[in-house]
Structure 1
Amino acid sequence: MDSSLSEILPLPGGPARIEWRRSARARRVSLRIDPRDGHVVVTLPPRAARTAGMALLMDHADWVSARLAALPGAVPFADGAEVPLHGIAHRIRHDAAARTVRVAAGEILVGGAAEFLARRVADFYRGEARRQLSLLALQKAELAALRPRRVSVKDTRSRWGSCAADRSLSFSWRLVMAPAFVQDYVAAHEVAHLRHMNHGPRFWALVGQLTPHTDTAVAWLRHEGPRLLRIG
């Protein structure tokens, strides 16, 4: 059974939140930065001592501090915050009289009680992502004479999309913040996995048939993707 606990530890760049995870699937001690929440994750195999994880963390303390310092600033869903939608900056504005969330003139207008604004904006983004990414995936699948079992959106931390063995496709809802060409590429990438569950030449050839945006989208995600993970 997997388990976790977290604590604040001093590092060269200042205090950092460390999440300790013990995983039955882990074969070695590892560490990574969670770009969404801005903390360090140390994963231990079932029988590994916590001291092994601490040793790895201390050996890489300077690297960890540098990576944490390089993370984009967090942008919560709040009244007045500027957030992207389909690659275009929009300002969140609370409008107590509004009955729904709607987009108008570069603003995302959010009704209801102010304390529920963040949740309503998140629900709006998830709904928009579900609609747009499902449509794109089904269009790409039809072009390739393929059919996914289902399409869903999730709040993933390390992948923009995935294709499961049962032919289910899932996408990060944060993709709806990205420009249309990025969404187009990720949809094509995951649909191509319905035929090729690898990244071999035939896989990339099919991706190229489904979208012209591979190189530009990959570059965009490499440079701008971390910023999306810090929003909301």
Structure 2
Amino acid sequence: MLPDIHIRRSARAKRLTLRVYPDKIALSAPIQCTQKQIQAFIASSQIWLKQAWQKQQHLQTQLPSCIRLFNQPQAIAIVYQAQAKLFIFKDQQLYVDQAQPQAALKAFSFAYAKQHLPQFLHSISQEIGLNYQNCTIRQAKTRWGSCSSVQNIMLSSALVCCEARLVRYVCIHELCHTRYMHHGAQFWQLVEQFDPHYQLHRQQLKQQQPYVF
């Protein structure tokens, strides 16, 4: 059953527009639009409205109540609310636009990754004494990371939702490629030198997907 539709007339509205939110349905109408025209528009949109409303309700059951970040000691609570910005990260809470929750969560994870993953890679590089040229963050769907022949390292933004030890393994893995551009015995010996539990970490990463939301 659909909720009551909130109708708002606006001088800036040029046409009738329906928007479906997790907790309501809103309709914007030009000031000169008659009630009869509004009701006819709603009636003609019934099939789409039901599908969009059901989709929103299903999404709500799938949305996380918190997010764990690799460099945070505690989970970050997520608050879904109506707001102008896609996300606001403040006082260890993540405020998300409830109208676009998945887009907001994806945008946050990417922004957080761009800020924190390059710093983490740099610290690991300093720790193990393997240098690289540049670090880029991408929303990669098939790889956790990569290293080019000119020692440019790419890290997946999804790493921010992994445990710190797994992020460390990926950084070590890619940094070792600055020495060996292959997966031969010498490469794995070097990885093991800096991460004795790399085989376990490698297996655990295979059980996760290199993308977020």
TM-score range, shorter chain: 0.5 to 0.7
Q: Would you say 1:101 and 2:88 are equivalent positions?
A: yes
1:150 CA displacement = 0.8
1:175 CA displacement = 1.1
1:176 aligned partner, one-letter code: V
Q: What's the counterpart of residue 174 of structure 2?
A: 190
C-alpha separation in 1, matches of 2:204 and 2:163: 9
1:144 CA displacement = 3.8
Assess, with a 3 A threshold, how the Cα gap between structure 1 residues 173 and 161 changes in structure 2: closer, same or farther: same
Asked if structure 2 preserves the Cα contact closer than 8 Å seen for 1:161 and 1:172, the reply is: yes
2:181 aligned partner, one-letter code: M
Q: How does 1:122-137 map to 2 (within 5 A)?
A: 122-137=106-121
Asked if structure 1 preserves the Cα contact closer than 8 Å seen for 2:78 and 2:95, the reply is: yes
Q: What's the counterpart of residue 92 of structure 1?
A: 78
1:126 CA displacement = 1.2
Assess, with a 3 A threshold, how the Cα gap between structure 1 residues 79 and 131 changes in structure 2: closer, same or farther: farther
Q: Identity over the aligned pairs, expressed in percent?
A: 23
Asked if structure 2 preserves the Cα contact closer than 8 Å seen for 1:146 and 1:194, the reply is: yes
1:178 CA displacement = 0.8
The structure with higher relative contact order (CA 8 Å, sep 6+) is: 1
- Alignment coverage as a number of residue pairs: 151
Assess, with a 3 A threshold, how the Cα gap between structure 1 residues 208 and 174 changes in structure 2: closer, same or farther: same
**Cα-to-partner distance string for 1:12-69 (whole Å, 9 max, x where unaligned):** xxxxxxxxxxxxxxxxxxxxxxxxxxxxxxxxxxxxxxxxxxxxxxxxxxxxxxxxxx
1:116 CA displacement = 4.5
Alignment gaps of 5+ in structure 1: 1-75
Q: What's the counterpart of residue 146 of structure 1?
A: 130
Q: What's the counterpart of residue 81 of structure 1?
A: 63
2:151 to 161, 167, 170: 167
**Cα-to-partner distance string for 1:125-152 (whole Å, 9 max, x where unaligned):** 1122223321222122223433222111
C-alpha separation in 2, matches of 1:182 and 1:150: 21
TM-score by length of 1: 0.54
1:190 CA displacement = 0.4
When the two chains are superposed, the root-mean-square deviation of aligned CA atoms in Å is 3.1
* 1:216 aligned counterpart, secondary structure: helix
Alignment gaps of 5+ in structure 2: 1-57
C-alpha separation in 1, matches of 2:178 and 2:190: 11
Specify the structure having the higher radius of gyration (Cα).
2
**Cα-to-partner distance string for 1:133-182 (whole Å, 9 max, x where unaligned):** 21222122223433222111111122110001121100111111111111
Asked if structure 2 preserves the Cα contact closer than 8 Å seen for 1:80 and 1:93, the reply is: no
* 1:204 aligned counterpart, secondary structure: helix
1:91 CA displacement = 5.0
